[in-house]
A and B are shown apart, each in its own frame.
Chain A
Amino acid sequence: IAGITQAPTSQILAAGRRMTLRCTQDMRHNAMYWYRQDLGLGLRLIHYSNTAGTTGKGEVPDGYSVSRANTDDFPLTLASAVPSQTSVYFCASSDRGVSNEQFFGPGTRLTVL
């Protein structure tokens, strides 16, 4: 099935724990992105990767890290979760064409207690 998959669908996590959110795309897109969605704030970019082997910081990168070892996978890691990281996380990808249309995964709902 073409598209983006994210795992887990939802997670409740104790503060201070480490957590990795997984994202895989099968469209062979160059670029991938992680966003968080919070009520009243819209979507904010956490990290991005223009191509395998490179990553960059977005608008709200603190407390998060990413890696891009290959084209398909783009995991997001919270090294030591805090309650302010409670959010819905969306992974997206694009082929970096002129229009840069992005395709989104279904999201991961994360609650940090």
Chain B
Amino acid sequence: GDSVTQMEGPVTLSEEAFLTINCTYTATGYPSLFWYVQYPGEGLQLLLKATKADDKGSNKGFEATYRKETTSFHLEKGSVQVSDSAVYFCALSDPWGGGSNYKLTFGKGTLLTVNP
């Protein structure tokens, strides 16, 4: 079945540091890939997405590239801010991989803390 593996964290960085959160996936079909962010006390918000190989999703200075050859979708940001402190979830949707639903398969989440 489908699965997502992301670095477990927690990750603690200083402001303006470079961020990478690794994410790899296993899917039977041709999935779409997502990064969601959850700020303290809130629900999940879509951060960025990519629907096919070599697509780059980007938003708020974050980027991730869909790498089919390495089955990866690593999240990066060149200079993090204190306001980026949150939990980040990698996820995939594989509606062509069998089954009749369009569910998301999530990684376990990575807690990022950015210190001033």
Contacts and interface: CB of A to CB of B under 8 A. Distances in A.
Nearest to B46: A101
A107 to B, nearest CB: 5
Nearest to B108: A42
Contacts of A99: 32, 49, 51, 93
A106 B34 contact: no
Interface residues of A, number: 25
B103 interface: yes
B82 interface: no
A45 B108 contact: no
A2 interface: no
A56 B43 contact: no
A102 B101 contact: no
Contact of B89 (A31, A42, A50, A103): A42
Nearest to A54: B100
Interface residues of B, number: 22
Interface string A32-49: 010000001111010010
Nearest to A49: B101
A58 interface: yes
A74 interface: no
B106 interface: yes
Contacts of A101: 34, 46, 49
Interface string B52-83: 00000000000000000000000000000000
10 contacts: A33-B103, A42-B89, A42-B107, A43-B89, A43-B104, A43-B106, A50-B101, A102-B104, A106-B42, A107-B43
Interface of A: 31, 33, 40-43, 45, 48, 50, 56, 58, 90, 92, 94, 96, 98-107
By Cβ-Cβ distance, the 5 closest A-B pairs, closest first, are A42-B108, A100-B93, A104-B43, A104-B44, A100-B102
